[in-house]
Each structure stands twice: as C-alpha cells, then as structure tokens.
Amino acid sequence: MAENEINTLVVRKPCFGLPTGCTQCLSAYLYLKFAQLPFQLDFHLNYPDSDQIPYFEVGNYVAYNNEKGGVIDCLKRDVGVVDLDSGISSLPDWIQTKAMLTTWLADALAYELWVGSEGYSSSPAYTIYYSDLSWPLGKVLFWRKARWIKQKHGINNENAELKKEEIYRRAKSAYGALSTWLGEQSYLFDNRPSSLDATFLAHGLVVLQALPESSVLRSKLLEHANLVRYVQQCKTEFIDDNPTPTYSWQFHTAGSSSTSSRSTSSSKTKSKPKREKTEEEKTFKRRSKYFVAAQLVAVVVFITIMTSFDDAEVDLDE
C-alpha cells in the first residue's frame, strides 16, 4: 500500500500527555478509536484559526471538519466508518445532551482557555494552538480569538463578572446533569460508546490534563467522581495504551511523500459528455478575449510605430 493510502487523521499539536490538545481533534480521534478504524496521526501546527482541522485523509480523499456534519459524519457517509450512534441519535435525551456538550461545556472551556486565563503565555491555549507560530503571529491570533469569544457572549467591562459567573454556573449544571445521567455506567447511552462519549471525553481530558490546578472549570469537574472515573478509564484504555506520537519538526514527513510527476495517476477520461458544453463555452470566451486583446495590441503598436515615425520626421526637419 502506498504511503498516502494509509488512513491519516490530521490534528493539532500533541501536548499535556494527550495525542492532541484540541477538543475537536481529540473527539474525532476517540470516535475512530471506538469504531476500531486503524489510522495514524499527523499534525498541522501553523493554522490555529482553521475550521478545517481535524481532517481525515486517505489517498486523494479528504474529509474536512467544516463540511456537513463534521469530519465524523463525512467519514460515516463516504468511507463507511461504523455509525456508533444508530438507534440512539434520535432520542430526546440524546439531543439535549448533545446541545449541552456543544454549547455550555464547549463555551466554558473556550472561555477558560482564551479569556479566563492570566495571559497569553500562561494559557494552555498557547501550548495547544500557538506554540508553533512566531510570537507576534500567535499573540495577534490569540487576541483575535479572545475578542471573538467576548463578542459572542456579549462580554464587556461592565458585565464581565456576571457573564463569567453565568458561564461557570451553566458548566456546573451541565456536569451535574451528566454525572446524574451517567451514574455507574461505562458510557452515556445504551452502555456502548457513541459520538457523544467521544465529545464529552475529549472535553474532560483537556479540562483535567491541560487546565492548571487553579482553574475554576477543572475544580467543578473534579466535584463529580463518576465523571472523573469515566474520563480516567477512557484515558487508560485509549490514550495510555497508545503513547503520544513523538512530535518534532518532522510533522510534514509523517507518512507523506509527494506523488510528483513520477506517480501513476488513475486513468483520466478526458471526454465527458456533460462537460463538453461548458468546455465549448470556455473556449469561446477565451477566443473572444484573445480577439479583443489582439485588437488592442494592434492599436497600441500602430500608435507607437506611427509616433516614432513622426518623431523621425521631426528630427529630419530640424
């Protein structure tokens, strides 16, 4: 199998003992682990503000996270990855839990990373997203994201404390509801892993591993022993067994080699009936552009030559 035919999940930087420090990337990682799809990790480190990451590559096929449903839905549709949510994704409890995870908990973590932290360098966001960018670039992008989060929540100087309390209160309620829902089970729904487990576990791992001990959000999560147990169990099973991939500057080379002109491409069928029409139109447009350009050039050349001819006459007169 050629190197680029290997399933590759491209994620953000591995840090804090995790295969990747970004929750969305980690959630995709965990889902693929649950689905038992073999894959390798690769890293894209200089694009912290991209919504395309994580993306999944195999051969020339790519599933980006900003496409319909996210990277996991694309994989379920196109690659045939197991749908772990079948039978449970239409339940009302499912939808409520999903809403809680993707809004209240995600917002709380984003707030903690970008706004609640004490500064750029001390924030875990720096390590996860910006540590591979030059300082001025990272600083500007961090500030831009912090400003976006404040705008999203309508935070200003007057209501900053109120908003902060509201965000943490909601996170606390969410943790309480999840803890009650989970109970002593191993997974959130039907005692089997699903995409919501991947989402929550990714959130929990980042909160417990990346956030400092002084973090409010972290302390709120630690109040629920069963949630902590649930996260630790996942870590043992899916993270610790697979040591963090060695990260170095060679991230570009992991399983990559450009095909270049030496590769044998798939057979190219050049004539397709449904494209002929548009090809003709394009040719026609191109030819008309050339015609107009030729006219213009002829006029310019004529003027220039005639001008130089006139100049020559004037010289002779003098």
Partner 1 sequence: MTNTLNHNAAQNDDVVHPEPEDDEQEDEEEEDDDDDDVLPNLRTPQSPASKLQQQRFKVETLARRLSSEMVPIRVHDVLVNGNTKTKDWVIEAELKGIETATTMQDLMRACEAAIARLQALEIFDSCKVRLEPGPKELPNTANVVVDVVEANNTVSGECGVYTKPSTSSWSLECALKYKNLLGYGDIWDTSLAYGGSQATELSLGVYAPRIKRLLTPIVARIMLVSQDWQEFSSYKEQLLGASIGLISTKHHDLVYTLGWRTLTDPSQTSSRSIRRQLGHSLLSSLKYTFKMDRRNSSIRPTRGYAFLSTTHLGGLSPDHRSLRFLRQMTSFSAVFPWGQGFMNKTSPLPERFYLGGDFSPVCTLGGPTTLWGFKTRGLGPTEPRRQSRNRADDNNSDSPGWDFIGGDLAVTAFADLSFDLPIKWLREHGIHGHVFAGSGNAAKLTQNEYKHFSPRKFLESFRTSVGCGIVIPTRLFRLEGNYFHILRKDEHDRGKTGFRFSFSAPS
Beta carbons within 8 Å of 111's beta carbon, 6+ residues apart? 149, 153, 164, 167
Name which position in 90, 134, 157, 271 contacts partner 1 (CB under 8 A): 134
Nearest Cα to Cα of residue 147 among 138, 135, 159, 156:
156
Of 209, 218, 196, 200, nearest to 240 (Cα)?
209
Note whether 79 binds partner 1 by CB under 8 A: yes
47 binds partner 1 (CB under 8 A): yes
| 197 CA to centre of own chain | 19
Nearer to partner 1, 44 or 220 (CB): 44
First and final C-alpha spacing in the chain:
81
- Rounded to a whole number of angstroms, the minimum distance from the CB of residue 259 to partner 1 is 5
Name, in order, each residue with C-beta under 8 angstroms of 114's C-beta and a sequence gap of 6 or more. 123, 125, 142, 145, 146, 149
How far apart are CB 253 and partner 1 at their closest, in Å? 5
Q: How far is the CB of 144 from partner 1 (least distance, A)?
A: 11
Nearer to partner 1, 57 or 112 (CB): 57
**Scanning residues 156 to 215, which ones bind partner 1 (CB under 8 A)?**
none
Binding flag, residue 63, partner 1 (CB under 8 A) = yes
Q: Which of 61, 143, 148, 284 binds partner 1 (CB under 8 A)?
A: 61
Comparison of 67 and 83: residue with beta carbon closer to partner 1: 67
Q: Is 268 in the site for partner 1 (CB under 8 A)?
A: yes
- Choose, by CB under 8 A, the member of 11, 25, 84, 133 that binds partner 1: 133
Q: Are 199 and 155 in contact (CB under 8 A)?
A: no
Residue choice 252, 282, 285, 287 for contact with partner 1 (CB under 8 A): 252
CB of 123 to partner 1, least distance (A): 18
Binding mask 284-303 for partner 1 (x = CB under 8 A): ------x--xx--x--xx--
Task: List C-alpha distances in Å: 276 to 286, 290, 303.
Answer: 15, 21, 41
How are the residues of the chain apportioned to helix, strand and coil, as percentages rounded to the nearest 5? 60, 5, 35
How near is the Cβ of 196 to partner 1 at its closest, in Å?
25
- CA-derived radius of gyration, the chain: 28
Minimum Å distance from CB 113 to partner 1? 19
| Smaller CB separation from partner 1, 169 or 287 | 287
Q: What are residue 9's DSSP bridge partners?
A: 41, 56
Asked if residue 128 lies in contact with residue 135, where contact means CB atoms within 8 angstroms, the answer is no
DSSP 2-17: -GGGS-EEEES--BTT
* Closest to partner 1 by CB, 214 or 265: 265
Judge if the upstream peptide bond of residue 54 is cis by omega within 30 degrees of 0: yes
Closer residue to partner 1 (CB): 128 or 211: 128
Residues at the interface with partner 1 (CB under 8 A):
4, 10, 44-48, 50, 52, 55, 57, 59-64, 67, 74, 77-79, 132-137, 140-141, 248-250, 252-253, 256-263, 265-266, 268-269, 272, 275, 290, 293-294, 297, 300-301, 304-305, 308-309
